[in-house]
Chains A and B, each alone.
Chain A
Amino acid sequence: MPISEWFKAREDRRYTSLDPSAPKTDVPDGVWEKCPSCKHIVYAGDLEHTDGVCPHCGHHFELTAPERVGTLADEDSFAEMDADLISGDPLSFTAAKPYTVSVATARESSGLSEAIVTGRATLGGHPVVLGVMDFRFIGASMGSVVGEKVARAFEVALAERRAVIMVTASGGARMQEGMLSLMQMAKTAAAAERLASAALPYIVVLANNTYGGVTASFATLGDVVLAEPGAMVGFAGPRLVEQATKLSLPKGFQTAESLVEHGMVDAVVPRAELRETLTALLGYLTLGGAS
């Protein structure tokens, strides 16, 4: 065995599950994570120190909304808004799995009331309204409540002359609320447009994955649009594009890096530099440069 492989094998041993009876693929939740990029098994405690970035390859794991808020908001500055807004079941959607069950399960497993957390905060001392989506909650899809919380976030920012920062991740519009979900695209875009008209800054951070109705509404209307390394972002998902076109997808299709190449995103910013970058941007853009 070449020495490099031996080192690699030792590394693997170090991070492999301690329970030999556990199935090989079963990585216990919350204790060990298998990096989808380099396949190393990473201790969750280590990920906490790196804000969810793989210490071996730099892969950016998805963050929960509370974790994300922790990495961005100034300490103790975050005050959540509209946490009491929850989804009803306007269409009595029962196909396959009843919508009420999906929502209840998502609430219980995530500890969140909906797929986005919004609140007032300061970021590098700048007053902002921060919105963070959480993919664990029904794929962070946008239904009435997500749309309402996003619209209110923009309205609070407008009233209090704050900047808006949105960290997005979403599978798209939430189909279980049908047309009410689709119309949230127009609602959130309209709210973003009002903020833009008031010359207040709006910065987006596209995180893995952001698709469909969220990408095609408020998530791409930022004055500045950033993305996390490796984040997959698009309108139609890659499998759908492949099926519809019967073509094989180009390398790097819909990755944050290729979006910069195609002129759709301003910059790919590693998580470790995100707070600093946002602070610097807010320094340039806050109050239309009036201060």
Chain B
Amino acid sequence: MSKRRFVMEFERPLVELEEKLLELRRIDAAALTPELAMEIDTLAAEVDRLHASLYRDLGPWEKVQIARHPDRPKTQDYVDALFEDVIELHGDRAFGDDEAMFAGLGTIAGRKAVVLGHRKGKDIKENIRRNFGQVHPEGFRKARRAMALAGRFGLPVVSFLDTAGAFPGIEAEERGQAWAIAECLATLSDLPVPVVVVGIGEGGSGGALAIGFGDRLIMLENAYYSVISPEMCAVILHKDAAKAAEAAGCLSLTAADLARLDLADEVLPEPVGGAHRDPAQVIEAVGVAVGGALDALATTPADRLVAERYARLRRIGHVVGESGTTGT
């Protein structure tokens, strides 16, 4: 038997119709009355219509579900497909190795680079090992070590974002989760090499931001990047995580929102229904976009790169007032 298809909440009406249709189609040809045949045709047309409309103009909450889809291509898929001669680097040299964070060296389209990325698993077993992509301080410190390496040896950084957030655990807090994230931010801010960030799935708050800003931000169409998870936002607003859909709509977290706010430079379209429908096509598109960004940044002198990155950050924000500049 094939693996059971993962159904996202908003797909349920479609899937129910599809299952009903499948059931009807299993009826013996001999038992098929003209009425039944007509019903099958009507249902098939309804399925087609719903399929076409459901994935058109997806709302923020639907996109969040797609971003979390278990079959969505992950950091490891991009690393395997786009990078050659990959050497993974382990450990923060202080506490341990965090399998929720990838750090390594690799060559993309002939360019040597340092690669970073949050790491979700393909199945429960791998997810437990990788803590569902939720990073501990040692993971951020490993990333920071790799960033510093990139800076010293003039290698650009390519970073893949896919985390629900930094892990909110007791030991994570005791080992300085906030400190580890802040140190990543400071290190990234003046790294004298190009930094290209790709939002491939979830961009959960500070845990994403720690490896999540630079000279270019490329977002997949259904990836999100948010200050807070929709569920937690709903709890704060309504004391009810079930109102996450409404919260998702308020947070301006989609790739399109980020482009509108001038935070994302490029939004890459996904196949109808999401990246999991055709991973190879999406991974290739990401490869082209990353290659293009690295090419564009390759000739910029380091001091200008750092100055422009700072200027880019300084422009972000909406401030009203006489001495303020009204930004995005």
Interface residues of A (CB under 8 A from B): 82, 84-91, 93-96, 113, 143-145, 147-148, 151, 173-175, 177-187, 189-190, 192-194, 196-197, 212-213, 215-221, 233-236, 240-241, 244-245, 247, 249-250, 253-254, 258, 262-264
Contacts and interface: CB of A to CB of B under 8 A. Distances in A.
B227 A178 contact: yes
Interface in B286-328: 309-310, 313-314, 316-324, 326-328
B96 interface: no
B324 A185 contact: no
B182 A93 contact: no
B212 to A, nearest CB: 8
A85 B258 contact: no
A24 B232 CA distance: 34
A81 B324 CA distance: 12
A95 B176 contact: no
Given A192-B186, A215-B182, A241-B169, 10 more contacts: A85-B319, A178-B261, A179-B225, A180-B317, A186-B209, A221-B182, A236-B168, A236-B177, A245-B168, A263-B176
Contacts of A241: 168-170, 173
Nearest to A188: B185
Interface stretch (B49-57, B154-162, B248-256, B272-280): B248-256
Contact of A175 (B189, B209, B233, B319): B233
A185 B206 CA distance: 8
A216 B210 CA distance: 9
Interface in B112-160: none
B316 A184 contact: yes
A112 B203 CA distance: 33
Contacts of A86: 319-321, 324
The interface centre, meaning the residue of A94, A216, A253 with most chain B CB atoms within 10 A of its CB, is A216
A254 B173 contact: yes
Contacts of A88: 318-320, 326
Contacts of A87: 318-320
A177 B313 CA distance: 16
A177 B257 CA distance: 12
Given A86-B320, A177-B318, A262-B176, A185 B185 contact: yes
B249 to A, nearest CB: 8
Contacts of A215: 178, 182
A245 B167 CA distance: 10
B186 A213 contact: no
A235 B185 contact: no
B182 A218 contact: yes
